[in-house]
Structure 1
Amino acid sequence: MQRDMKQWLRAMIDSDKKKTMPVLSFPAVQLMDVSVKELISDSTMQARGMKLIADRVDSAASVSLMDLSVEAECFGAEISVSEDEVPTVVGSVVSSLEEAQALQVPQVGAGRTGIYLDAMKKAVELITDRPVFAGIIGPFSLAGRLADVTEIMIYCYEEPDMVHTILEKATQFLIDYAKAYKETGANGIVMAEPLAGLLSPDLAEEFSAPYVKRVVDAVQSDQFAVIYHNCGNSTIRTIDSILSTGSAAYHFGNAISMQEMLPLIPRDTVVMGNIDPAGEFRNGTPESIRKATLELMEDCCPQYPNFVVSSGCDIPPMSKWENIDAYFAAVAEYYAR
């Protein structure tokens, strides 16, 4: 369903009682009694999982699978798939400038991107009471999965031309992929750029922000919002380059303090975060996640009306639903006061 997403974000800031927007999709495997391997391979199952979650929780929006292997797989990367963990990339496909120059940009729809696009088409038909966002990877994070996430940090210094060559091709693909999501009827994308969270301010300015901005400029509109996600620990130091991307909203992980981040963000821009996905959603208790959620909201909500509580990153597949339910109950408890 088409929506005015600028108005949606403004209304979120203006509301005295804000709905939370965690990155919540993979725990649908428990509701459907299926494996992660089955979920990532079936568009109908993905859409049904998103719908089941939307019916269960009072979230501000629905977010599709945050699978940061799917785009790299299209470029030829090998992935490791398990029954109950999010897929990961194994090894690299580029290790020299010559290989970067020879790297072919895949067609959108190749590999599992066709499954994920089809899932979004089905999801937007099923979920009509809130915006629906697609999850995609960011340019530098994709480049890192093609060149190895450790090695690319060295390449930024020693082989910058190679890194820029990979980034050009990654960005071209991501623009086309985001446009394809836009055509499905999605209301926006959550773009995950976590690897940039390990960069220095100068490197982030060179190797991440301008490429993210190109994606944002190509697809963002009044009806289609880009939410930038970065769960790295350098985001406070790189916030100027992050804001230069022009994204509609920003989402940060639990590696940083939201109390330190919020003063750096314009008051008319929505900022989301950052309850620990592993420590609380996956391995916490209903009591511990209630405490963490209420403390974060008490610290941030009164002073910053543009703050929306969320998970710090994608909630792991086997996170206990009693913890997820307790998180939503804590949000409701805070606003009921």
Structure 2
Amino acid sequence: MITTTHNRETISMQSLKNDLLLKALRGEKVSRPPVWMMRQAGRYLPEYQELRAKYDFFTRVQTPELAAAITIQPVDIIDTDAAILFSDILVVPQAMGLTVEMIEGRGPVLPKTIKSFEDVNALVVEEAASQLQYVYNAIKVTKQQLNNRVPLIGFAGAPWTLFCYMVEGKGSKTWDKAKTLCYTQPELAHALLQKITDVTIAYLKQQIVAGADCVQLFDSWAGVWDKQDFLTYAHPYNKQIVEAVKNDAPFTLFAKGVWHSLVEMQDTGANALGLDWANTAAFARGLTGNNITLQGNYDPAKLMQSPEKITKDVHQMINDFGVQRYIVNLGHGITPQIPVSHARAFIDAVKSWKE
């Protein structure tokens, strides 16, 4: 029986057949960079579409055997160096007491949104993480079925990104309601952000206990802020989470569109920073002093190019970032229209790279 985090990580590293990702996250020397893709367990795979036709979204998420099967699909089909758990960032607002609906063609909808201190005070906090046992069960089933082939990545949505959905009630290009709440009722905004942060810390820690080898925090909507407001409404809460969890497992912080605050994000102590495609290797390496692992940052739309062009691009991307302290990935999630053969070309390009 594994009784400590340290022992758990040591045993995991020793037993994994492919531990490139964990080595890169820890800054250890690798023969080539590891590669995986955000949203790799998803709609571009015909095998996923078959399960999607049989089961609604939250049935897939809340049934450990289905979540595990979907998680493992890209490892089997395109041979990624890691699996990332099939789940959704909005399971946290659900666990906090809000209704979340997935509507075909519209995406997530939250019928009741947060508007007042009364709404914030009504949220479940202390017991919320325990409401997500189905996620932890999915991790356990996935780890068993992976049989130590590759690491399993757990994840959560960042407080600001979850705040956006909890205030707006649906997707948005500008998140005006969420930003307005911050500007007009900052005390209310910070109260909500802190509660999301507290739940997220407990949630990620439980994912690690269940068997996640490393975790990633997704702040998909951080880029709607300028630097000052990012450092006011998003970064402090991300930092709290990183600092609370980083000693339990390697931690990747991904804040899309926040090129201006790489130094501040590096100072959280995260093992790696995710980059979107608007950044460049030279800029990111220059700001961070080549002292942290970087992950990214191929534009998912470029996966519509020919496999030959994808291979050329990926080889150049590795040359630009360097082999060490680098994880090959996309600048955001893979999109549904990408041919599986092109996704496989992206993975194969990394494995065929030579100095």
Q: Which deviates more, 123-132 or 254-263?
A: 254-263
- CA offsets, 1:256-290, max 9 Å, x none? 3333222112423110001122x134x44434433
Does residue 329 of the first structure (1) align with residue 351 of the second (2)? no
- Residue 143 of structure 1 corresponds to 163
Equivalent residues, number: 326
Q: What is the RMSD computed on CA atoms of the aligned residues?
A: 2.8
- CA offsets, 1:78-117, max 9 Å, x none? 434256x89524465112344323433252243xx33322
Give the superposition deviation at 1:184. 0.3
- Residue 101 of structure 1 corresponds to 121
- Residue 262 of structure 1 corresponds to 285
Say whether the 8 Å CA contact 2:64–2:135 is kept in structure 1. Answer: yes
Q: Which deviates more, 194-203 or 167-176?
A: 194-203
Give the superposition deviation at 1:183. 1.4
SS in 2 for 1:238: helix
Say whether the 8 Å CA contact 1:249–1:270 is kept in structure 2. Answer: yes
Give the superposition deviation at 1:158. 1.7
| One-letter amino acid of the counterpart of residue 25, structure 1 | A
- Residue 300 of structure 1 corresponds to 321
* Equivalent residues in 2 for 1:1-337, closer than 5 Å: 2-4=8-10, 8-9=23-24, 13-23=28-38, 24-27=40-43, 30-32=46-48, 33-35=50-52, 37=57, 39-65=60-86, 67-81=88-102, 87-90=107-110, 93-105=113-125, 107-110=128-131, 113-127=132-146, 128-148=148-168, 149-221=175-247, 224-231=249-256, 233=257, 235-277=258-300, 279-281=301-303, 283-301=304-322, 305-317=324-336, 319-335=338-354
Gaps of 5+ in 2: 3-7, 14-20, 169-174
Q: Which deviates more, 262-271 or 158-167?
A: 262-271
| One-letter amino acid of the counterpart of residue 37, structure 2 | P
Gaps of 5+ in 1: none
Whole-angstrom distance in 2 between the partners of 1:121 and 1:42: 12
TM-score by length of 2: 0.81
Say whether the 8 Å CA contact 1:79–1:87 is kept in structure 2. Answer: no
Give the superposition deviation at 1:146. 1.1
Q: Which deviates more, 238-247 or 7-16?
A: 7-16
Distance 1:7 1:230, change over 3 A: closer
Distance 1:52 1:102, change over 3 A: closer
| One-letter amino acid of the counterpart of residue 181, structure 1 | Q
Whole-angstrom distance in 2 between the partners of 1:66 and 1:267: 32
Identity %: 19
Whole-angstrom distance in 2 between the partners of 1:202 and 1:104: 30
Give the superposition deviation at 1:155. 2.1
Give the superposition deviation at 1:171. 0.8
Q: Which deviates more, 292-301 or 242-251?
A: 292-301
| One-letter amino acid of the counterpart of residue 160, structure 2 | F
